[in-house]
Amino acid sequence: MREVRSLVLAAALVSLCAAPTLAQAPKRMSLTSASFQDGAIIPDKYTQASASPVSPELSWKDAPEGTQSFALIVDDPDTALQHSTNEVLHWAAFNIPAAKTSLPEGVPNEATLPDGTIQPLNTGRKPGFMGPGAPCCVYHHYTFQLYALDTKLSLGPDATRAQIMSAMDGHVLGKAVVVGRFHKPQ
């Protein structure tokens, strides 16, 4: 009985070794920022500690095959607006061209950019980036979430976060996240 079991195990081992190697899993899309490291403190120039905060630089690579556009959602999950499940929306942008691999520092706060990117209103009721502004002494986390989509979204600059998320449902090919932290100084 032991000999039979040993022969079966040996045969299984030989067949595994002789099998063609498994294809490597595709690389996972990644998002980084030259403005701050993932998990680190966001410098003041990108926050409400500055009189005129600018958006940080964001770069991504390894977008999935078939990507037709990107969407970006930046929010503060540590705040519950008006005691609801809504988070503070600091920036939304969609229909970012598929050929892009980055957003520069200081993206203009315009509803529609020349490349077709749409930036709807943030929680501050303005298009584009709204810098982090957590109150003193308690760090909030700011999630920069980039989605690779298999389509462009049929929405305009008046789209809400909920409408953007609903329109993306079923079209997400990949997602990458970078997180920064901030609170106002004392």
For 131-184, how does the pLDDT look when each residue is reduced to its tens digit (9 = 90+)? 999 888 889 999 999 999 999 999 999 999 999 999 999 999 999 999 999 998
What pLDDT score does 124 carry?
Answer: 94
109 pLDDT exceeds 80? yes
What pLDDT score does 25 carry?
Answer: 63
What pLDDT score does 155 carry?
Answer: 98
35 pLDDT exceeds 60? yes
How many independent structural domains does the chain possess?
1
Q: Give domain status of residue 36, yes or no.
A: yes
Place 74 in a pLDDT band, splitting at 50, 70 and 90: very high
Q: Give domain status of residue 10, yes or no.
A: no
List the one residue out of 147, 142, 141 whose CA is nearest residue 166. 147
Q: Give domain status of residue 109, yes or no.
A: yes
What pLDDT score does 186 carry?
Answer: 78
What pLDDT score does 6 carry?
Answer: 52
Report angle CA 130, 55, 136 to the nearest 5 degrees.
55
81 pLDDT exceeds 70? no
88 pLDDT exceeds 60? yes
What pLDDT score does 5 carry?
Answer: 52
Cα 34 from chain centroid (whole Å): 15
Q: Give domain status of residue 2, yes or no.
A: no
48 pLDDT exceeds 70? yes
Cα→Cα distances 89→73, 86, 95, 125, 162, Å = 8, 9, 18, 10, 11
What is the domain-level CATH number for residue 49? 3.90.280.10
Q: Give domain status of residue 4, yes or no.
A: no
What integer is the mean pLDDT of 21-41? 86
Q: Give domain status of residue 85, yes or no.
A: yes
What pLDDT score does 184 carry?
Answer: 86
Look-up of token digits 């958006």 = 55
Residue that wins the pLDDT comparison between 94 and 81: 94
Q: Give domain status of residue 8, yes or no.
A: no
Q: Give domain status of residue 74, yes or no.
A: yes
Domain that holds residue 175: 24-182
113 φ, ψ to 5°?
-90, 160
What is the torsional sign of CA 150, 146, 121, 80? positive
List the one residue out of 51, 23, 105, 70 whose CA is nearest residue 175. 70
